[in-house]
Structure 1
Amino acid sequence: MRPVPVGESAVLDVVVTPEMTVCFDELGPVHPVYATYSMAKHFEEAGRKLLLRHLEPGEAGIGSSLSVEHLAPAWVGDPVRVTARCVELRGNRLTCECTAVDAEGRLLGRGTTGQVVMSEEAVQTRIGGR
């Protein structure tokens, strides 16, 4: 992996859709707002977007940690900008601070993601079939 400079970031722009709102498998729809689990997915996607720029041929990244603090709601149709910023690269482990903000710059959420870089072969061995 090529070094990821501390402070480098990647941005993911999304618009909240009905599929991104709170709806549980067993309980059904709960709130018609941007779900914490959708924000978590977008944090991971933004972090991966940053990592992909630095992978060498034959390398792959796999998620290792995730934290999300959901601070404010967003509704269907609202644009959300998710930013992942490298805060640490230690060996083969990348840690990003993530934020989600709405079009007015209101902080919707913050958190961190962790990814581990290893060979594609090692990842396949880890996640291989049962």
Structure 2
Amino acid sequence: MPDVPPLDIPVGATATLDVVVTHELTVHFDELGPVHPVYATYSMAKHFEEAGRKLLLQHLQPGHAGIGRSVAVEHLGPAWVGDGVTVVARCTEVSGNRLTCACTATDARGRELGRGTTVQVVLPEDLLEQRIGPAARAARG
């Protein structure tokens, strides 16, 4: 494992993201066009990752950066344009340089719209830059 101090994020710590469903967050595929006028599963996945990152940033040490490793989403119910959605990421595990969060999305009435998990990996900023920065892309050819 790279030289990363242990993450100091208590199990149970949370971060909240408030979202209002817009047309841009509904199901619209690049090739197929619009499909359903409801909150897209891929938008929910993005918001799960964002809420998890919001939690990580509260605890990230200087000189380190987080990057997404995985996301899983179970989409349970629809939300329509104009609906408010609350996304909560809750730390369920810290293992070495990895943060795992359980995520939920609920509407204003408290109805669960989705649940899932995210995992982020923390690395030294310079190592992450070597792996995904402009020089890494140029070396790819």
TM-score class, shorter? over 0.9
- What is aligned with 1:85? 90
- What is aligned with 1:35? 40
Displaced runs of 4 or more, over 3 A: none
Report the TM-score, using the length of structure 1 for normalisation: 0.98
Structure 2 counterpart of 1:54, from 50, 59, 63: 59
Distance in 2 (alpha carbons) for counterparts of 1:39 and 1:22 = 11
Alignment gaps of 5+ in structure 1 = none
Structure 1 residues 1-130: aligned runs within 5 Å: 2-129=7-134, 130=137
Alignment gaps of 5+ in structure 2 = none
Identity of aligned residues (%): 72
Report the TM-score, using the length of structure 2 for normalisation: 0.90
Distance in 1 (alpha carbons) for counterparts of 2:17 and 2:81 = 17
RMSD: 0.8
- Tell which structure's C-alpha radius of gyration is larger: 2
User: Given residue 26 of structure 1, which amino acid in structure 2 is its aligned partner?
Assistant: E
Distance in 1 (alpha carbons) for counterparts of 2:85 and 2:21 = 7
Size of the aligned set, in residue pairs, is 130
Distance in 2 (alpha carbons) for counterparts of 1:84 and 1:125 = 29
Q: CA deviation at 1:128?
A: 2.2
